[in-house]
Amino acid sequence: MPVLVEQDPTLVGTLGHALPTGSQVVATTERALAWLDQHPDEYAVVLGPSVELLAALGTAEDLRIKRPTVSVVLVREQFDTDVLTRAMHAGVRDVVAAGDEKAVTGAVERAHQLFQALRGPGGARQLGRVVTVFSPKGGVGKTTSSVNLALALTDRGARKVCLVDLDLAFGDVAITMQLFPTHSIEQAVGSEDSIDLAMLEGLLTRHQDSLTILAAPSHPDVRERVTPLLISRILRALRDGFDYIVVDTSPSFDDATLTALDETDECVIVATLDVPTLKNVKVALETMDMLSIARGHRHLLLNRADEQVGISVEKVESILGMPVSAQVATAVDIAAATNAGTPIVSEKPGHPASLAFTHLAASVTGEPIPAPDGTNATAAEQPRARGLFRRGRS
């Protein structure tokens, strides 16, 4: 789907009408290039009027050589022959007026035709991956982690992520993000045989340009009518349109959770440093072993991993028989940020908790984390995530 670079919300609205459903919106050309790195099947970049002409031409020059199958469409409030000539030399495929929705749609359609002609219609799209956030215990931070992990996975617009609230009776993803959905999974009840991405898109609520939510029903009794078949079809359909589908779950192996775990590619298990939780997580891991769920694709997140509670990280690892991928301390900032509708990863990207969620995201994707010095390292190569937060512990 095309990626639109535009910062002005009004222009995003009008240009959005002219683009196919599911198009991606990012604020800068830099994020558009990051998006292209992740999407070998992308065919069009639409540079909105807010993008400076020089930056737009530079981007087109760059893509002309590096990604000749991607068409650059330049949208200007006004343009003259000088702009047209320079755009043509830079490799821009179409220059269109901001007010001319039909021209924008036409330019993007031509871009798609060209892409198919160059790549062949069989240039298969990579399917999105399902990441389930699970814990057998309530209140350990599953929702907080799901929301922040989903935001970290968007990589500021380079990836498209959908957060699905499968805590069907008491889901609170939407309220946690201060969203007030008009639709939820409830409107998909009974549509097992007709679910597709286009239908689901009508049920999603947008949080940020690259993060959307499929909210839980507003009444607990609807849970009974959401069948496992419906859930698995929804997750499969979402794979067609998103890079990652993060699933928040209820604190039990109920039907919805088991279905999500069946579909899952990566599983994040949330634990806290207390004996009852660790005992339950251990039993849950054994159950997952028995059911062959996400073997080799499990990531342990220690939440509220505070000093002086009497259980060390080493002890947790030896009890659970798996390494800790990331740990987050108790911090009032985390709860305050979520309560304000801007989770900590968005509000304070440099906060230790945000860095921990970014590490968790890298552990999930297996892709490099950009280091402050500009070099890259994978989560596995970095000093183990816990080392960053474990100063002073022996």
Ligand X SMILES: Nc1ncnc2c1ncn2[C@@H]1O[C@H](COP(=O)(O)OP(=O)(O)OP(=O)(O)O)[C@@H](O)[C@H]1O
Parallel/antiparallel/unpaired status of strands 298-303 and 324-328: parallel
Q: Which is nearer to ligand X, 141 or 157 (CB)?
A: 141
Judged by beta carbon, residue 136 or residue 241, the one nearer ligand X is 136
In the region spanning residues 154 to 173, those forming contacts with ligand X, defined by CB under 6 A, are 167
Could you say which residues in the range 289-328 bind ligand X, by CB under 6 A?
303-304, 328
From candidates 338, 354, 358, 363, binder to ligand X by CB under 6 A: 338
331 contact, one of Mg ion, ligand X, none, CB 5-8 Å limit per kind:
ligand X
We find the least distance from the C-beta atom of residue 297 to ligand X, in angstroms, to be 21
Strand segments (E) across 143-289: 161-165, 205-208, 211-214, 244-248, 266-272
Instruction: Between 276 and 296, name the residue whose CB sits nearer to ligand X.
Output: 276
- Total residues at the site for ligand X (CB under 6 A)? 17
Q: Which does 338 bind (CB under 5 to 8 A by kind): ligand X, Mg ion, none?
A: ligand X
C-beta of 216 vs 278, nearer to Mg ion: 216
The single residue among 33, 34, 140, 302 that binds ligand X, judged by CB under 6 A, is 140
Instruction: Name 134's bridge partners.
Output: 269
Token pair, residue 29, equals: 């050309």
263 neighbors 236 (Cβ within 8 angstroms) = yes
CA nearest neighbour of 323 among 353, 304, 296: 296
Non-local CB neighbours of 27 within 8 Å, separated by 6+ positions: 5, 6, 7, 157, 209
Say if residues 205 and 212 touch (Cβ distance below 8 Å): yes
Q: Which is nearer to ligand X, 192 or 254 (CB)?
A: 254
Pick the closer one to ligand X by CB: 58 or 138: 138
Q: Find the shortest distance in angstroms from Cβ 135 to ligand X.
A: 6
Given the structure tokens 């509220």, which residue do they identify?
304
Residues 60-119 that bind ligand X (CB under 6 A): none
With CB under 6 A as the contact rule, the residue among 261, 324, 334, 369 that binds ligand X is: 334
Q: Which long-range contacts (CB under 8 A, 24 or more apart) does 291-294 make?
A: 291/258, 291/261, 293/261, 293/262, 293/264, 293/267, 294/132, 294/261, 294/264, 294/265, 294/266, 294/267
Closer residue to ligand X in complex, CB, 71/264: 264
For the bound state, the minimum distance from the C-beta of residue 282 to ligand X, rounded and expressed in Å, comes to: 18
CB distance 165 to 173 below 8 Å: yes
Q: Is 258 in the site for ligand X (CB under 6 A)?
A: no
CB 119 within 8 A of CB 40: no
Q: How far is the CB of 335 from ligand X (least distance, A)?
A: 3
State the minimum distance, in angstroms, from the CB of residue 136 to ligand X. 10
The residues that touch Mg ion, with contacts defined as CB under 5 A, are 142-143
Beta bridge partners of 229: none
Binding residues vs ligand X (CB under 6 A) = 138-144, 167, 251, 303-304, 328, 330-331, 334-335, 338
